[in-house]
Structure 1
Amino acid sequence: MNTFATLPASERQLYFQQYQGTQGIDTTIVEKDFWVCWLLGILFRTEPLSQNCVFKGGTSLSKVYNAIHRFSEDIDLSVDPGFLGCEESVLEDAELSNTKRNRLSEALQKACADAVESQLQPLLETEISNILGEVEGNEPWLSYELDGGTNSPVLLFHYPSDRKAKEGSYIPPWVKLEFGSLTDQRPTGSCEVTAMIDELAPGHFADSKAQVVALEIERTFWEKATILHAEHHRPNLRNRDRFSRHYADFAALWDNPVRQKAIQSDELLNRVVQHKSRFFRSSWANYDTAKRGTFKLLPKPEAIENLKKDYKAMEQMFFRTPSPFEEILDTLREAEKTLNE
């Protein structure tokens, strides 16, 4: 039963305002948080999505593990290659040439995009419409596009809101679902996510909770670490909008108890490095040095000023006063030293 999603918009807004009054979190965030959780519920109870997708990335750190204290608004999903007609063992074959692996990866990326557009979008559109009804003007709830940076297939869920999209708004009124198909998306676990508004009336709204399959946090720890390592070696310095969050997220993970388990697992680190070396190869990322003794977590000095500006722009996303960026750099400095001892 979807008791909250089908309330009149004006009544939903009262709950969002009440939560803002008690917790000091902007209604824009409280509203979008509900629709993120609601959509995750749809995704992970709808076949074949529920059996073939893994929830990962920053939003999993926030909603599943409560490891970061900022609002993360996108849903990052990994689709099982087997669902797309490609056996994982073929892609992971160590004897496969780079040319052959690149060809297979490109075919897999296209198969993922085709599946999202032709199968998953219509399926989700039907599930959403069955609950929320039709959009006024017969527009779809979901729109499809390819991400300009990653070329990954994306669905945008334009959730029902009285708020209109504003040019340049940091928190747009849609939820972005980004799909990719990657091998070795393990370990995973079955976890619960809960919308903020559930705190106002615990258990009252059946659709404020969702069960998901998520990438385990220690894997994400090393995924984030290798993102920073590769970024340190990027040869052409350029402004990276919304990238400072990766530094903030890793600093939060370093201060989280997960650190103790993650840094003891060289096997997991090696798997992440091997995976990225095979499927995200570049001439500059230096994944072969993402290991004890040569890890790089700190940004280049010349990148820091732009990262500070980017971090400042995302202030409204934090649930508490964010640490100064200098403190994040101090944490990264400590982490880099520890990993390289």
Structure 2
Amino acid sequence: WVVWVLERLFSLEKIKSHLTFKGGTSLSKVYKMIDRFSEDIDLSIEREVLGFGWPDDPENAPSKKKQRAVLDNLSKTCSNYVQTEMLNSLKEAIVTKLGTTKGWQIFSDQDDPDAQTLLFEYPSKTSKNGYIRPLVKIEIGARSEHWPVSERKIQSYAKEALKKQIYEPEVCVRVLNAERTFWEKATILHQYAHLPEDKKIPPRISRHFYDFFRLLNSEIKETALTEAALLERVAMHKSIYFASNWANYGTARKGTLKLLPLARILKDLEKDYVLMEAMFFREVPEWQSILKTIEKFEMEFNNSSSS
């Protein structure tokens, strides 16, 4: 269903060239680097479409106060776009493909305070699971950077498993390059490594540790290391568009990158990881193996000479 929804999204003529598919699901569906099911589609829309291109983007704001105001306006404009034009266009595309308005629904996710998430509910005969739900979550933000990207073809797991032609064709999507996602994941881990004592780790965060572990065991690791300047670019971007007074993005660089949080947080993450096991369709890596691999990379990366 994820691939099916992606096909609908990237068939929307007005918007498809301005969308970028990113995040963990792109690592699974496009790059085949992780072996977990994901019903979440993480998309970014170019800010120019919403009227926030240069020189009106947040990075050109003359002060922090003005920058916050521009970001707030960007968020509201994106929310309005998602809840009106995006929702209506996608609904129309689904109706056209299915030929009916029955048996499915697409609606706004009331749990998203930013109102930038849509939920596509599809018929399912399987029992509901805490991690696998009969929904495709479509998150559409406007704060991400669309570089570097490439055009890639994807297909569903069902089609791959059958190893024969089925009705659904391959889908061509614009996707964030895996080396960028490598450093995006690293900065997520860096962020939670600085989680304050009075904050609890949110649910479903252990997937980022698994994803980064798989990236460290893939060919993209070497590519990412040759593009290590991307780490500082990602950290700088997040410090503006995803500002946090505790994430310490300024230290997300060679020499001071921190990837593992405190022991109490690791215990909560391990419990979360156990719940996540239903998402895997191949061998489940041991949690301690994940941590050791990440710890080893952190030490080697920080101690390596600057290029």
TM-score bracket relative to the smaller structure: over 0.9
Q: Which amino acid aligns with 1:218?
A: E
Deviation at 1:214, TM superposition (A): 0.4
Partners of 1:275 and 1:269 lie apart in 2 by: 10
Q: 2:114 aligned with 1:151, yes or no?
A: yes
Partners of 2:214 and 2:282 lie apart in 1 by: 13
Q: Tell me, yes or no, if the aligned pair for 1:232 and 1:300 is still in contact at 8 Å.
A: yes
1:279-338 Cα shifts (integer Å, max 9, x gaps)? 112221111111111110012111111111100001111122211100001001111001
Structure 1 match to 2:173 = 212
Match for 1:126 among 72, 76, 92? 92
The within-5 A match list for 1:30-69 is 35-69=1-35
Partners of 1:147 and 1:218 lie apart in 2 by: 31
The within-5 A match list for 1:1-341 is 35-91=1-57, 93=59, 96-136=62-102, 141-148=105-112, 151-163=114-126, 166=128, 169-202=130-163, 204-235=165-196, 236-341=198-303
Deviation at 1:160, TM superposition (A): 3.2
Partners of 1:330 and 1:301 lie apart in 2 by: 14
Q: Tell me, yes or no, if the aligned pair for 1:71 and 1:317 is still in contact at 8 Å.
A: yes
Q: Tell me, yes or no, if the aligned pair for 1:244 and 1:311 is still in contact at 8 Å.
A: yes
Q: Tell me, yes or no, if the aligned pair for 1:55 and 1:214 is still in contact at 8 Å.
A: yes
Deviation at 1:184, TM superposition (A): 2.6
1:150-201 Cα shifts (integer Å, max 9, x gaps)? 625111111233457x4x6431111000010025321000011111121354
Structure 1 SS opposite 2:109: strand
Partners of 1:311 and 1:170 lie apart in 2 by: 10
Partners of 2:130 and 2:59 lie apart in 1 by: 44
Q: Which amino acid aligns with 1:223?
A: E
Distance change (3 Å), C-alpha of 1:146 and 1:51 = farther
Q: Tell me, yes or no, if the aligned pair for 1:189 and 1:216 is still in contact at 8 Å.
A: yes
Q: Which amino acid aligns with 2:11?
A: R
Partners of 2:47 and 2:30 lie apart in 1 by: 24
Q: Which amino acid aligns with 2:65?
A: T
Q: Tell me, yes or no, if the aligned pair for 2:23 and 2:181 is still in contact at 8 Å.
A: yes
Q: Which runs of 5+ in 1 are unaligned?
A: 1-34
Percent sequence identity is: 39
Aligned length: 302
Structure 1 SS opposite 2:226: coil
Q: Tell me, yes or no, if the aligned pair for 2:39 and 2:133 is still in contact at 8 Å.
A: no
TM-score by length of 1: 0.84
TM-score by length of 2: 0.92
Q: Which amino acid aligns with 1:273?
A: A
Q: Which runs of 5+ in 2 are unaligned?
A: none
Q: Tell me, yes or no, if the aligned pair for 1:102 and 1:279 is still in contact at 8 Å.
A: no
Q: Which amino acid aligns with 1:141?
A: Q
